[in-house]
Amino acid sequence: MLGFTDIEAAARRLQGQLLDTPCVASKTLSQITGAEVFLKFENLQYTASFKERGACNKLAQLTAEERRRGVIAMSAGNHAQGVAYHAQRLGLRAVIVMPRFTPGVKIDRTRGFGAEVVLHGDTLEESRSHAQELAQREGLVFVHPYDDEAIVAGQGTVGLEMLRAVPELDTLVVAVGGGGLIAGMATAARAIKPGITIIGVQTSRFPAMVNAIKGTQHPQGSSTIAEGIAVGTPGVIPQAIIAQKVDDLVLVDEGDIEQAMVMLLEIEKTLVEGAGAAGLAALLKYPERFRGQKVGLVLCGGNIDPLLLAAIIERGMVRAGRLARIRVSARDVPGSLAKITATVAGAGANIDEVHHQRAFTMLSAQNVDIELVIQTRGREHIAQVLAVLKADGFEAEEQL
């Protein structure tokens, strides 16, 4: 099994090739969660993900003959970029097979590093099978995203850096897809600080490692906002390490991840993708498990499609009560809409959208439903706006 000396050797290989990213305390998140929270900013790597650690460690150990042949990888994006970038840096041919659903930003960046991108399959498993076929057909070296000791050792350098920066950490909370990151980090952490608690986090839509380790039968979904950890089959090498060195695995939902992403953007002014927010999502969902502890979270990636990010921000505003949809019923006479908008403005809310509905309503023909999307300061402000509208003689209610 992978040992601590492998992690240390990987750290020496990576020195000067990528960032020793900051690991710093977040006062605001600590106040919110009740734990002392430290964030490891792996989203600041050149390819915006920890994945280039494993890729660099693997490619640096290829023989001259393997370098001549070139490499191939299967990935939804972050591993692809890590392999493509370090292959380009080392002058190697790189072919990357990506599922068709991969966000365009990840496809474009992978191509930008000089890799040949092949879009194939709707799942990582379909992409993997095709990549292995191409590897055999063209003599390329297959670089697995997580089921490879050199990859796991490279990812383990994250744990090494965290405990060197903050030796007093009590707990590490790590996102889990195939398991390479947490397996490497657990190997390093157990050697440096044997009593540390290590918790893995999976999205409830892709609970493969939880099922494998705990013997549960949680159903698997077809998509998730955290596509970076949307892995249907856990890695054999990581699973063995996780079973031995990781204390527990927990599940978080899509809404938990979205909330964590918005909080990191608002509070820390840092952009993370879904997988990168999974650790914070676990702290928000299970605060009692971490209260009073010094907790290290890995912001493992920051590659996200801008349109998806915009939708997440908007949904986050709705959950926080800062964006609301209200329905106001009024007499269908000149001036009604003007009076309603003036009333809303007087209550201090800003109107985003107005929809005037005459046909699709159960009201009498002389009345009209007006749907407003408004910007507010929160839940209490929504209630104030509704109260002012009712005081002015309008029927008004929030639409959920």
User: Residue 376 is part of which domain span?
Assistant: 321-399
CATH, residue 167: 3.40.50.1100
Mean pLDDT for the stretch of residues 367-386 = 93
Q: Which of 287, 315, 343 is the last residue of a domain?
A: 315
Q: Which residue has the higher pLDDT, 77 or 200?
A: 200
Give CA–CA dist 229/272, Å, rounded.
13
How many angstroms separate the Cα of 388 from the Cα of each of 265, 344, 348, 354, 384?
33, 8, 11, 18, 6
63 shares a domain with 41 = no
Does residue 77 surpass a pLDDT of 90?
A: no
Residue 233: its pLDDT value, please? 87
Does residue 109 surpass a pLDDT of 90?
A: no
Enumerate the β-bridge partners of residue 38: 25, 296
384 shares a domain with 260 = no
Q: Which of 296, 315, 334 is the last residue of a domain?
A: 315
Residue 232: its pLDDT value, please? 87
262 shares a domain with 185 = yes
193 shares a domain with 246 = yes
pLDDT grade for 124, boundaries at 50, 70 and 90: confident
Mean pLDDT for the stretch of residues 104-124 = 87
Mean pLDDT for the stretch of residues 215-225 = 92
56 shares a domain with 42 = no
Q: Are 327 and 371 in contact (CB under 8 A)?
A: yes
Give CA–CA dist 192/180, Å, rounded.
19
Q: For residue 66, how far is the Cα from the chain centroid?
A: 33
Residue 362: its pLDDT value, please? 61
Mean pLDDT for the stretch of residues 295-314 = 92
Mode of pairing for the β-strands spanning 395-399 and 141-143: unpaired
Does residue 142 surpass a pLDDT of 90?
A: yes
CATH, residue 338: 3.30.70.260
For the full predicted model, state whether its pTM sits above 0.85.
yes
Please count the other Cβ atoms lying within 10 Å of the Cβ belonging to residue 283. 28
Residue 365: its pLDDT value, please? 62
Does residue 107 surpass a pLDDT of 90?
A: no
165 shares a domain with 22 = yes
* Total domains in the fold of the chain: 3
134 shares a domain with 31 = no
227 shares a domain with 162 = yes
154 shares a domain with 239 = yes
Q: What is the DSSP string of 126-156?
A: HHHHHHHHHHHHHTPEEE-SSSSHHHHHHHH
Helices assigned H by DSSP within the chain: 4-14, 27-33, 51-60, 64-69, 78-90, 104-112, 124-138, 149-165, 180-192, 208-214, 236-245, 254-267, 278-285, 287-290, 306-319, 336-346, 379-391
106 shares a domain with 120 = yes
The pLDDT tens digits for 274-289 are 999 999 999 999 999 9
pLDDT grade for 367, boundaries at 50, 70 and 90: confident
274 shares a domain with 157 = yes
Q: Are 183 and 242 in contact (CB under 8 A)?
A: yes
92 shares a domain with 19 = no
Average model confidence (pLDDT) across the chain: 93
pLDDT grade for 363, boundaries at 50, 70 and 90: low
Q: Which of 105, 127, 143 is the last residue of a domain?
A: 143
**Share above pLDDT 70 across residues of the chain, in percent, rounded to a whole number:** 98
The pLDDT tens digits for 335-362 are 888 999 999 999 999 999 998 776 666 6
pLDDT grade for 105, boundaries at 50, 70 and 90: confident
